[in-house]
A and B are shown apart, each in its own frame.
Chain A
Amino acid sequence: MHQPFFDDLRTLMYPSALLHTFGVNGKVSGSVGAAGEIGGGVVVILHGPRGCGFHYRHSARRRHQPFYPLLCSDLTEREIICGGADALRRTVSEAWDRYRPALILIVPTPVSDILNEDIRAVAEASRTQGIRVAAVQSELFSHRDKNYSRTRVRELARQKITGDNRLELELKGCGFTEALWALVEQVMEPQPPLPRSVNIETVGWGSEGTLVLKEIGSFLGQCGITVHCWIPSAPLELLITAPAARLNLVKRVRWARRMKERFGTDYLHLGGAGRYTGLEGIALFYRDIGEKLGLLDEMEPLIAAETEKALAQTETARRTLADYRCALVCRGLQTAPLRLKLYASLGLPISHICLILTPEMRREMALTPELEAQLMDRIQDAAGLYAGGSPILLNPGEAELREVFAVVDAVVGTGDVTLEGLGAPLIPAMSETVSLSFESYVRNVFRLCDRLSARTARDELILNRMPFQTRYYPLYDGSESLWAKEMWERMWLYRKEDVQ
């Protein structure tokens, strides 16, 4: 990918955030998405009725790019009554005869889970016939743990903003993780250790992610560390040997723990709690790797040199940025500290902090007054550390926003277009990427500098001719959408509450 923002555009063109307002993927999506990353000929068999085999090609967490090698065992009424093991065996056999794949990954569906189908036994029997088959085991029925987001906020509130402690939460029932677990259990094999090597989990790196992964690999290479395997975005033959690496750099912790149990491969969890935000965070990321591999002393001069280089490259640009005064607008209370840390690292002064916290957000995140106070304390701490104690406004009205915007050069941190036309140009949040390569830091500084110097009011946005309002942004507010959102939340989040 030569143009990373086109990659971002392709991601955004799949309306994932919109769809997640009214529903969540079945966890099959995650498993299929993981399979789609594996190179070398992987066929997925969904053990379920034909409809699953139809639509999961599209809703496979692969944007609009379908996962084509998706078969299904076509469970019909007969199998619902008599069991579907024969249908699954037949499908495995047909898949083998037709495609000769390197791996067949069997993924359960809610239907096969209810029928309590022993798909691992089918996989095992197939392996004895020389067909490489792995079966994903459902940890939870149908979908991921719905309390994860709320639990995460509670944990996040306890995190130090400096990132000195770690947020390492397991997400149960995530289809992606379940697939990786199956790879660890049934595909990977014990290997002689490969010194100075890491594996890196590839999915979930956000904006510019693909490029940044390459840059991380490149810097580790300078340190004499090889990226042995990109998990799961590697050829199958390489994935089999993944346990050779000394360390896994992971976004999802559950499968990594299993790999540690099974093969002794240590892991470093790259949570989003702020430890690795900004240039200092990037340096800390490599130090953590060095420490895990016992190479810290060796890596330290290289990390310091790269940090110095990034600072030198950006010195003029940061001096320019230092002359601006910007208002930060954040929706919710979780991200503001990270943003403040990032802007401080980029050298951009934040003179005002505006937080939008709607009643809906409070409810979705189950914010108690205590929890809200904890999160606000975190923001206060971050404002003190990174923004010279700038004032914090919680839910400012339009008049207050206009007052703030009148004295700043631009608004950063948000893509909420309803704030356009209130007196200061917006620098869309997409301009700032959060990533772990020194090069990405340099790009961030230059990009922000460019965008600020070219800042302009966008006062005739077509989007603003539609009925959006900040309270519900980015949701369109002119149709049934709002009831559909509330309905979904009642059935998904507030299931136990008897909301009338």
Chain B
Amino acid sequence: MKTADGCKLFGAHQALTGIQGGVVLLHSVVGCNFGSMAFHAACDMADIRQTCTVISDSDVIFGGEESLSRALRHAEELCSPEVIFLVTGCVSDIIQDDVHSAAKAFQGRARVVTVEAAGYRGGLEDGYEAALTSLSELMSPLPTAETPAINLLGLGADDHRAGPDLEALRGLLHGKVRLNTVLSRCSLEELRRAPSAGLNVVLGRGVGLAREMERRFGIPFEVLDYPYGLTGAEGLWHCLERRFGLDFSEELASFRRRTAEGLRPVYSYLQALYGMPVSLIGSGARSRGMARFLIRELGMEVACQAEREALTDLEDFFDRVRASETAVLFGSSFEAELAEELEIPLLRYDYPVFDRLCVTCRPYVGADGTLCLTEDLLNEIMGTWNQKGALYQ
């Protein structure tokens, strides 16, 4: 089979590596460390907060607990992290390393949070859920904030444009609601503050932690798709209106105006997109959010849509797209394979994106984000014009 998404370890990595003040220790072989880091480097090569116990053949024979203990000691000595996120992989799981005892025996100042993430036990979303749920260990009850405050759950550390999107999401709240904690892009301090929020907004994933926080702290949660476009913002605003009795009707009007004015110079191109068949693949909430935006706001036809975690074999999706009349593809960098084959544009929006960079504040959500997203889409289309000679031969 051709794998459509990563394994449990990669999901855990995405949930944990964006937490400032913590470090990720992969109790695994070098390939897991290198592979996850290679995706991360495309997002932030100056902030590497992960390492690996380098399970070797002798660990396989004699057990890897000693290597693990040594790694915990070294991590403590070298960077004094507040928390070490200990993530196990396939090999440590097969050889049945007693990681919990090793973590318990560790006498450092850092707290060790253990996440079981053997790749053969689940996919990326399973790992993300497991790791995010483990974060509840670091939370204690707090009084609910007096002003409306929410936590956002579901962002991955290396999601494409996660930084700008986060700022745009904050902007969507327009100061009426405080963004309390964002998982997983926050400090440990912010993480500990999470129980003071009045609502957990779950962007598709993170439901396990949301349930746990509801059980332990009484915080309700709402699950939304990724809020691309006005329709995405509306979903978020409706939820906040319901929970906090707020009114976002002015913001809604302003969003409409901003996007209309912003895209007016290219209105003919928007007309070209209208009714055009497209296909998209992405993790559940992103895929659904993007499909909604493309259909309802750009007026495109979604010929094929797939949620990665539900796909057994990526080729099944490819076959459906090949058989469709798709003119544009939306996915991750890996879907360049199909886009190149079909000679159609690819808009990269889903993890992993390793062949496009984002260092400017160009989000894909919010009013300005809608302009950026549309601009990138049009540029990708124009950049894919590949007929150099006669057009009709």
Residues in chain A within 8 A of chain B (CB atoms): 15, 18-19, 22-29, 48-59, 64, 66, 68, 70-72, 74-77, 79-80, 91, 94, 98, 109-111, 114-115, 140-143, 476, 478-481, 483-484, 486-488, 490-492, 495, 498-500
Chain A residue with minimal CB distance to B80?
Answer: A483
Residues 82-107 of chain B, each 1 if its beta carbon lies under 8 Å from chain A, else 0: 00000000110011000000000000
Give the residues from 25 to 57 in chain B that come closer than 8 angstroms, CB to CB, to chain A.
29-39, 41, 45-57
A140 to B54, CA, bound (A): 14
Contact across chains for B1 and A495 when beta carbons are under 8 A apart: no
Chain B residue with minimal CB distance to A70?
Answer: B2
Q: Taking A70-B2, A490-B70 as given, write out 6 further A-B residue pairs in contact, using a Cβ cutoff of 8 Å, ordered by the A residue number.
A: A28-B31, A77-B120, A110-B29, A111-B119, A114-B95, A142-B91
Q: Which of B144-152, B223-231, B260-268, B329-337 contacts A (4 or more CB under 8 A)?
A: B329-337
Contact across chains for A483 and B79 when beta carbons are under 8 A apart: yes
B9 at the interface (CB under 8 A from A): yes
Q: Among the listed B39, B67, B74, B90, which residue makes an inter-chain contact with A111, where contact means beta carbons less than 8 Å apart?
A: B90
Contact across chains for A142 and B67 when beta carbons are under 8 A apart: no
- Within the complex, the shortest CB–CB distance from B322 to chain A, in Å, comes to 13
Given A64-B354, A71-B1, A481-B48, are A59 and B95 neighbors across the interface (CB < 8 Å)? no
Chain B residue with minimal CB distance to A26?
Answer: B31
Give the residues from 4 to 39 in chain B that come closer than 8 angstroms, CB to CB, to chain A.
4-10, 23, 29-39
A18 to B44, CA, bound (A): 12
Contact across chains for B57 and A49 when beta carbons are under 8 A apart: no
Contact across chains for B6 and A142 when beta carbons are under 8 A apart: no
Contact across chains for B46 and A481 when beta carbons are under 8 A apart: yes
Contact across chains for B41 and A15 when beta carbons are under 8 A apart: yes
- Within the complex, the shortest CB–CB distance from B48 to chain A, in Å, comes to 5
Which A residues lie within 8 Å of B7 (CB)? 49-52, 54
Which A residues lie within 8 Å of B8 (CB)? 51
Contact across chains for B91 and A59 when beta carbons are under 8 A apart: no
Which B residues lie within 8 Å of A52 (CB)? 7, 31, 119
Residues in chain B within 8 A of chain A (CB atoms): 1-10, 23, 29-39, 41, 45-57, 60, 67, 70-71, 73-75, 77-79, 90-91, 94-95, 118-121, 123-124, 315, 333-334, 336-337, 352, 354-355
Contact across chains for A480 and B47 when beta carbons are under 8 A apart: yes
Contact across chains for A483 and B41 when beta carbons are under 8 A apart: no
Which A residues lie within 8 Å of B10 (CB)? 51, 54-55
Contact across chains for A499 and B334 when beta carbons are under 8 A apart: no
Contact across chains for B94 and A495 when beta carbons are under 8 A apart: no
Contact across chains for B120 and A110 when beta carbons are under 8 A apart: no
Which A residues lie within 8 Å of B6 (CB)? 50-51, 54-55
Contact across chains for A66 and B336 when beta carbons are under 8 A apart: yes
Which B residues lie within 8 Å of A498 (CB)? 70
Which A residues lie within 8 Å of B4 (CB)? 54
Q: Among the listed A19, A79, A80, which residue makes an inter-chain contact with B38, where contact means beta carbons less than 8 Å apart?
A: A19
Which A residues lie within 8 Å of B50 (CB)? 22, 484
Identify 22 residue pairs between A and B in the complex whose beta-carbon atoms are under 8 Å apart, listed by A's number. A26-B29, A48-B119, A50-B5, A50-B6, A51-B9, A51-B119, A52-B7, A54-B124, A58-B38, A58-B333, A72-B1, A79-B120, A109-B31, A110-B29, A110-B31, A110-B91, A111-B90, A483-B78, A488-B52, A490-B74, A491-B70, A495-B67
A263 to B52, CA, bound (A): 42
Contact across chains for B337 and A68 when beta carbons are under 8 A apart: yes
Which A residues lie within 8 Å of B34 (CB)? 19, 23-26, 29, 59
Contact across chains for B94 and A80 when beta carbons are under 8 A apart: yes
Contact across chains for B79 and A480 when beta carbons are under 8 A apart: yes
Q: Among the listed A64, A479, A486, which residue makes an inter-chain contact with B46, where contact means beta carbons less than 8 Å apart?
A: A479
- Within the complex, the shortest CB–CB distance from B85 to chain A, in Å, comes to 14
Interface-central residue, B30, B33, B49, B70, by most chain A CB under 10 Å: B30
- Within the complex, the shortest CB–CB distance from B224 to chain A, in Å, comes to 26
Chain B residue with minimal CB distance to A109?
Answer: B31
Interface-central residue, B7, B48, B334, by most chain A CB under 10 Å: B48
Contact across chains for B54 and A491 when beta carbons are under 8 A apart: yes
Contact across chains for B352 and A58 when beta carbons are under 8 A apart: yes
Chain A residue with minimal CB distance to B77?
Answer: A500
Contact across chains for A22 and B55 when beta carbons are under 8 A apart: no
Chain A residue with minimal CB distance to B355?
Answer: A64
Which A residues lie within 8 Å of B30 (CB)? 23-26, 142-143, 492
- Within the complex, the shortest CB–CB distance from A69 to chain B, in Å, comes to 8
Which B residues lie within 8 Å of A110 (CB)? 29, 31, 55, 90-91
Contact across chains for B35 and A492 when beta carbons are under 8 A apart: no
Contact across chains for B120 and A491 when beta carbons are under 8 A apart: no
Contact across chains for B56 and A66 when beta carbons are under 8 A apart: no
Which B residues lie within 8 Å of A74 (CB)? 1, 3
Which B residues lie within 8 Å of A495 (CB)? 54, 56, 67
